[in-house]
Chain A
Amino acid sequence: MKTNKKRFMLVALLICFIFVTACAQPAPAPDPAPSEPQPETPGNETEQPSGPTFPTKPIRIITHSEPGGGVDIFIRALQPYIQFELGQPIVIENVPGAAGRIGTTQVWNSDPDGYTLLSHTLPLTTVGDIVYDAEYNILEFEHLVAFDKTPYVIAVKIDSDINTFEDLVNESKERTLTNATSGVGGSMHLQSVVMKDALGIDYADIPFNGSAPAMMAVMTNDVDFAILPFDIPLTNLDEVKVIVAMDTNRMPQYPDIPTVLEEGYEFELISIRRCIVAPKGTPQEINEILINAFEKAAENPDYLKWAEDRGVNLEILTGDDYYRIAEEAYEMVDKFKDIFQ
């Protein structure tokens, strides 16, 4: 009787172990089989006859975001459509940590066979490369596709005296204003530094732990204003007000809010872009198959509806167009790298 119960317990524990091992990766695919990375064995190459043979096995997309984070949600929403286009399972794996450097480095060191890709956020990985001396060189990745563009807006507390961008510039000359950023070296910080440099104004950048806490800091009256991604504060318009759009055109979400240019100021505007790159040296024909599939997936009507509901500002750039944007971001970060350190 006693031994029976003990045995039951041991079995129960063992089941638990199996469960843990199965769940060791924070985000396995619905189908557990493809979550094992399958190294390209030399034998496989002989199996490649003529014709379009890519992809013949599941593709891993590594994201440097936590499960549920910005890029993670983005790529997971797209996953079924990519899967549909490529006809192979797409496994999304979260490798967060060190502001994206761990995940990005992992892809950098992967085989350039098109079966391991990186889903990343544009200025973040650039900052990792330049400011934090990451192992990878961001511009040497194969640039496949950039999906969207998240420009910034400036938001203040609803009862703030600052009502226009001009107020902000003037006020910053009279007293020391404070601005909440998502963290040192983040793109919100980068935009702030670029703005200060171009307009010759000064204020204190207070780093928070992400853009949501930065918005919270505006709402709790801790800071005077924050440069926030345009899609964040929509729900909080009774707590914060948007005073200026940091984009070339007015945003459909804020038709009454002028752009910085309309307000008579001109400086370089930064946007977050969620992109996909492949390890350096991935064959060109594979890149093309992938680019084609991603582009088609992002144009799927069902996906477009999701993107619209979420307020995602799709702006698809592929190959060289994407590379040009990445290069611009690189130059900008490089110019201001001393400020980050």
Chain B
Amino acid sequence: MYGVIIEGLLESLSITNLILIFLSTFIGVIIGALPGLGPTIGIALLIPISYGMETTTALLLSAGIYVGAVYGGSITAIVLGIPGTPTSTATVLDGFPMSQQGRSLEALAASTVSSSFGGFVSALFLMFFTPMLSRVVLKFGVAEQFMLAMFGLSVIAVSSRESFFKGLLGGFFGLAIATVGYDPITGYNRFNFGVDYLADGFPFMVVVIGLFGISQTISMAEKAQTISGSTELSGSIWTGTVKVFKNMRVLIQSTLIGSFMGGMPGVGGGPANMIAYTTVANSSKDRDSFGKGNIKGVIAAEASNNATVGTALIPTLAFGIPGSTVAAVLLGLLMLHGVEPGPKMFIEMPLTIYTFFWGLLFTNLILVLVCFPLLKYFAKITIVPYQILVPNIFMLCVLGTYGMRGYVFDVFVGIAFGVLGYFLKKANYPMVCIVLGLVLGRLAESNLSRSLMIHRNLDFLYKRPITLTLLILTAVIMIIPYINIEKIKRRLRKN
């Protein structure tokens, strides 16, 4: 087996393959940076083109696009405050405030380095621990997935410290939007007003582009200035890089969360990104500076989403069950090339598989090489006057909403959410709570229904070890913000 691993390494290091990885990573970054286009569409675009290619070539190209696109979403998230992909929603929370302070270069560098690190570790997991981790995946049934979603939702309680009720309302609003579309259990069409375009619910990315992007352009159009408020940039790539390694704990913590969430079928990068961010935010001493341009927020969000890339392929390769929509498309690509995914693959075409694994590893390193020279230009966007920026961003957003599924209907949905988002922002509703509700609503709802259908009562919440652990964690997370540690310490000292 180790012979094949080395052989795969040599194969992936050939000049043509390295050039392929380089190019596809670059394309991936661009695809990811465009709002509405993400890794799923990127790889889907590759499917018809890849037909005539060698399987290895196609796989390496998809690795580059996948990694590049998951990272690329953070560029738009940091520079413009619009998540370029669903997996970089949490990046906006601290990345954009950093840009507003003129520290976009620092944020972009931190995002690149932590993405690269998260992706690299995740690819290592994929390469060496697939058989082991696939056992863990099998421990997560519907009840566990429901509790995982609840754990994610509990984060609403802590991410809205400024106004608890506004956060809660936002979360409920998100959950309410998530109920539009067919009922995952009965198949009944709910709240779609008879429109078949809404039968699958509001497309997540369209809502996000509306809430973050289009609302942003409206508020920008109000004043004449630049994102950073000045015409000069402060901070450098170097400071951003150094800060990542100074926050090693955050980096490792969020990489592990991301890797874990990525491996859960049906959970994917979006929730991973949010959950890692909030976990880090709440376990940090400087909790209050999150959301105001704390670099740890960017590190957590970006390390975690790229850390889902490798592990999302674990259930795909081990069982032929995709861990995310991207993995599903990749699975399709594999099948088109006549590759039957599953344990058999490691026996029948080990060289292809290990070349792909190495390719994935190198892509994460090459990412830094591809992106560092570009960061300067991306950062410049934050010193472009709004008069020039606003029409361009608006056009990008509209195209993004259209590009998701290719339905004009979605453009109007996006604009409607944009107007709504503008007013919600004015009223200080935390957007992150809405998105959390939206992201986790379906996961929670469908798995709760399934658990109830299977277990017929709520015993599963505390009778299974994993759900019980998650239940306790959820309770702790919800209580934490209301405990004043200093006060308790003082009281203890008195006694």
- Mark A residues whose CB is within 8 Å of B: 5-6, 8-10, 12-13, 16-17, 19-21, 23-30, 66-69, 72-73, 76-77, 79-80, 92, 94-99, 101-102, 105, 132, 134, 178, 183-185, 204, 206-209, 212-213, 215-217, 219-223, 232, 234-236, 238-239, 306, 309-311, 340-341
Question: Would you list 17 pairs from A and B whose C-beta atoms are within 8 A, ordered by A residue?
Answer: A5-B377, A16-B34, A20-B403, A26-B45, A26-B406, A28-B45, A69-B328, A94-B44, A99-B182, A101-B199, A102-B197, A206-B454, A207-B450, A223-B454, A234-B340, A235-B340, A341-B188
Minimum CB–CB distance from A161 to chain B (whole Å) comes to: 17
C-alpha gap A341/B319 in the complex (Å): 33
6 A-B pairs closest in CB distance:
A235-B342, A68-B332, A184-B187, A98-B199, A67-B44, A68-B329
How does the 8 Å CB contact mask read for B311-351 relative to A, with 1 for contact and 0 for none?
Answer: 00001000111100000111111011010111110000000
B403 touches A97 (CB 8 A): no
Chain A residues with CB under 8 A of B342: 234-236
Chain A: minimal CB distance from B248 (Å): 34
Residues of chain A contacted by B483 (CB below 8 angstroms): none
Beyond A16-B34, A102-B197, 6 extra complex contacts between A and B, CB < 8 Å: A27-B47, A66-B328, A79-B51, A207-B184, A213-B321, A219-B138
* Inter-chain contact B399/A20, CB cutoff 8 Å: yes
Cβ of B336 and Cβ of A99 under 8 Å apart?
no
- B322 close to A222 (CB less than 8 A): no
In the complex, the answer to whether B45 meets A212 with C-beta atoms within 8 Å is no
Find chain A residues with CB under 8 A from B381 CB. 9
Instruction: Name the one of B139, B332, B454 contacting A204, with C-beta atoms under 8 angstroms.
Output: B454
Q: Is the CB of A207 within 8 A of B197?
A: no
Residues of B whose CB lies within 8 Å of any CB of A are 30, 33-34, 36-37, 41, 43-45, 47-49, 51, 138-143, 182, 184-189, 196-197, 199-200, 265-266, 315, 319-322, 328-333, 335-336, 338, 340-344, 377, 380-381, 384, 388, 392, 395-396, 399-400, 402-403, 405-406, 446, 450, 453-454
B186 and A184 contacting across the interface, CB-CB below 8 Å: yes
User: In the assembled complex, which residues on chain B have CB atoms less than 8 Å from the CB atom of A12?
Assistant: 377
Say whether A184 contacts B185, CB under 8 Å. Answer: yes
**Contact: A69 with B34, CB < 8 Å?**
no
- Pairwise interchain contact B330-A68, C-beta atoms closer than 8 A: yes
Closest-by-CB residue of B relative to A183 is B187
CB distance from B26 to the nearest CB of A (A): 13
Q: A184-B186, A216-B319, A232-B320 are in contact. Are A73 and B336 (CB under 8 A)?
A: yes
A275 CB, min distance to chain B CBs, angstroms? 19
CB neighbours (8 Å) of B399 from chain A are 17, 20-21, 24
Q: Are A9 and B36 in contact (CB under 8 A)?
A: no
Which B residues are CB-close (under 8 A) to A185?
A: 187
- Asked, given contacts A26-B44, A184-B187, whether A222 binds B321 with beta carbons under 8 Å apart, the answer is no
CB distance from A208 to the nearest CB of B (A): 7
Known: A76-B48, A217-B141. A13 touches B340 (CB 8 A): no
Assess whether B141 is in contact with A24, with CB atoms less than 8 Å apart: no
* Cβ contact of A13, chosen from B138, B322, B396, B405, cutoff 8 A: B396
Residues of A within 8 A of B43 (CB): 68
Contact B200 A27 (CB under 8 A): no
Collect the chain A residues with CB atoms within 8 Å of residue B186's CB.
184
Contact in complex: A97, B197 (CB < 8 Å):
yes
A27 adjacent to B319 (CB under 8 Å): no
Q: Are B187 and A220 in contact (CB under 8 A)?
A: no
